């Protein structure tokens, strides 16, 4: 009888321990990987979501749109941050795409450039920008671009990683990332730093890496090359919207800044999401999460686009 009682106590103890073990779990981890363009907003969203849904923890990392796509296809990430259109080959891989926000890629130059004031005044035409970034010529002088006697040649920096920003910037001229000729630099922050240190350097960055969203001012070291869209060799009032984050985001929203290089940003999953945690997070991003988009330095989706994206989750 005594042995039977001890056995019952032992089994009861194991059961209680199991309950405690299960009760100790705080939920699951969700991994998000991919585009530098979406990384600051991805971090903002996950922080806010955790505040109201503490059972879901997040691991968010930036490594470029290409890495995000690779990770999600390999099952190493639940969600990828993506900043370009899928290729025809990628569309055949059962990838689900959800537009979540909008931003743009901006051409940049070094604030140390001695012709900085003239660059801001005249900008560069679309034809000049295409020649600078895609021709591969290493003898294009700032003087030739700005109609001065300057002899210093432009130095082009581009992304070394598979980047949606590079692909989107090249798409503005009908090209792909590999068509941009220049010194390859890894990541958005690295590219901004390289351009800022080279007085003759030019590159391109996503909005959140050009402007300090806290202050709205341009980050130290780099400035934006205004695009002279009508080719009259001056930046007219309708082309002048680069002063601060609010002004460029408004220009992206109302279409004064061209698309591309303005573009939608995406979350992508391998197959239609079935995990309730991931579905819940995606729905929140498309509803309550949109109120954080502008303050993070991006353009919110329109109501029509939000409705369309939510229908994909039904």
Q: What is the DSSP letter of 182?
A: S
Residue 163 pLDDT level (bands cut at 50, 70, 90): confident
The CA-atom distances, in angstroms, between 276 and each of 41, 56, 66, 220, 308 are 22, 11, 26, 43, 20
Residue 162 pLDDT level (bands cut at 50, 70, 90): confident
pLDDT at 194: 97
**Residue 178, H or E segment:** none
CA dihedral 187, 265, 257, 185 (to 10 degrees): 10
For 216-270, the pLDDT digits (tens) are 999 999 999 999 999 999 999 999 999 999 999 999 999 999 999 999 999 999 9
204: left (phi over 0), alpha (psi -120 to 50) or beta: beta
Gap between the Cα atoms of 143 and 6, Å rounded: 92
Considering the chain, what percentage of its residues have pLDDT values greater than 90?
84
| pLDDT surpassing 60 at residue 180 | yes
Average pLDDT, the chain: 90
| pLDDT surpassing 60 at residue 159 | yes
Contact 265, 298 (CB under 8 A): yes
pLDDT at 26: 55
Residue 84 pLDDT level (bands cut at 50, 70, 90): confident
Residue in 164, 169, 84 with CA at minimum distance from that of residue 133: 169
Q: Which residues of 224-250 are buried (b: 16+ CB within 10 A; e: fewer)?
A: bbbbbbeeeeebeeebbbbeebeebbe
| pLDDT surpassing 60 at residue 2 | no
| pLDDT surpassing 50 at residue 154 | yes
**Residue 233, H or E segment:** none
Residue in 271, 234, 266 with CA at minimum distance from that of residue 75: 271
Residue 145 pLDDT level (bands cut at 50, 70, 90): very high
Q: Beta strand 262-270 with 155-159: parallel, antiparallel or unpaired?
A: unpaired
Give mean pLDDT, residues 181-202.
Answer: 96
């Amino acid at each position: 009888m005594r042995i039977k009682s001890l056995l019952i106590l032992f089994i009861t103890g194991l059961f209680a321990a199991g309950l405690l073990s299960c009760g100790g779990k705080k939920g699951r981890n969700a991994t998000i990987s991919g585009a530098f363009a979406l990384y600051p907003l991805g971090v903002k969203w996950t922080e806010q979501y955790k505040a109201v849904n503490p059972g879901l923890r997040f691991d968010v990392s930036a490594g470029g749109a290409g890495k995000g796509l690779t990770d999600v296809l390999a099952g190493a990430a639940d969600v990828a941050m993506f900043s370009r259109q899928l290729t025809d080959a990628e569309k055949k891989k059962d990838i689900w795409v959800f537009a979540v926000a909008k931003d743009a890629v901006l051409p940049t130059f070094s604030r140390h450039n001695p012709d900085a004031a003239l660059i801001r005044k005249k900008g560069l035409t679309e034809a000049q920008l295409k020649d600078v970034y895609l021709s591969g010529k290493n003898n294009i002088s700032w003087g030739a671009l700005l109609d001065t006697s300057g002899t210093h040649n432009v130095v082009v920096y581009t992304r070394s990683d598979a980047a949606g920003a590079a692909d989107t910037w090249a798409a503005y001229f009908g090209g792909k990332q590999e068509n941009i000729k220049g010194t390859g630099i890894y990541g958005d922050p690295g590219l901004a730093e390289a351009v800022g240190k080279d007085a003759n350097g030019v590159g391109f960055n996503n909005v959140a890496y050009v402007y300090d969203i806290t202050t709205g001012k341009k980050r130290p070291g780099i400035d934006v090359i205004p695009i002279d869209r009508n080719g009259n060799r001056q930046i007219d009032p309708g082309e002048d919207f680069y002063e601060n984050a609010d002004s460029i985001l408004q220009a992206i929203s109302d279409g004064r800044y061209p698309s591309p290089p303005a573009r939608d940003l995406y979350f992508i999953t391998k197959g239609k999401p079935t995990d309730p945690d991931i579905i819940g997070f995606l729905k929140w991003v498309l509803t309550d999460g949109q109120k954080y988009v502008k303050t993070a330095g991006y353009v919110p989706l329109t109501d029509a686009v939000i409705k369309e994206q939510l229908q994909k989750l039904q």
